[in-house]
Amino acid sequence: MTNTAYESEGVRPSNSEAYDKAISELTSKMLDLVWFGRKPNYRTATKADWKEWEQGQPVPERVFNRMIEGLKRVEKTYPDEVRNLRGNEADFYHGFNSGMLAALRFVGTASQDLYDEVEDEWIDGIQMAQDLYPDLDT
């Protein structure tokens, strides 16, 4: 005996909380890796590399220090992925991570409608996801 029409086809809805948590955790990981991949290698970069990264503007010292802390955290948390981002196929891995981030953000946004209290209306999650896609801001 099946609980839903889907189960008769060998499919059933998964645990919604576990699904949301898994999507959120993987999105966070991909965000970290895309952010990391956009930064110069702090171990070998010169001050000129960081100036170029900031469109020719000097990076404030406190911002620079926080970036270095973040880069070290990502290195420690995802050592294999960081090795890939610093290796010969770095462009491939950065592209893969960027695609994953875009897809995960789409799925996360499309999976729920949001209530806009100011406009007193529901916003369709799928439409919002389509409007925002690929949403690669870090």
**What are 53-111's pLDDT values in tens digits?**
666 677 778 888 898 999 999 999 999 999 999 999 999 999 999 999 999 999 988 88
Distances (CA, A) of 112 to 16, 45, 134: 11, 42, 17
Question: 57 in a domain, yes or no?
Answer: yes
Residue 4 within any structural domain of the chain: no
Residue 138 has a pLDDT of 65
> In which domain, by residue range, is 70 found?
15-132
pLDDT in tens, 114-135: 888 999 999 888 898 899 888 7
Query: Is 65 a member of any domain?
Result: yes
- Residue 128 forms part of a structural domain: yes
- The pTM for the full model equals 0.78
Q: What is the mean pLDDT of residues 17-41?
A: 92
Alpha helix stretches (DSSP H) within the chain: 16-37, 47-53, 61-77, 79-85, 90-110, 125-132
Predicted pLDDT of residue 125:
86
What is the total count of domains within the chain? 1
Residue 68, in any domain of the structure = yes
Report yes or no on 5 lying in a domain. no
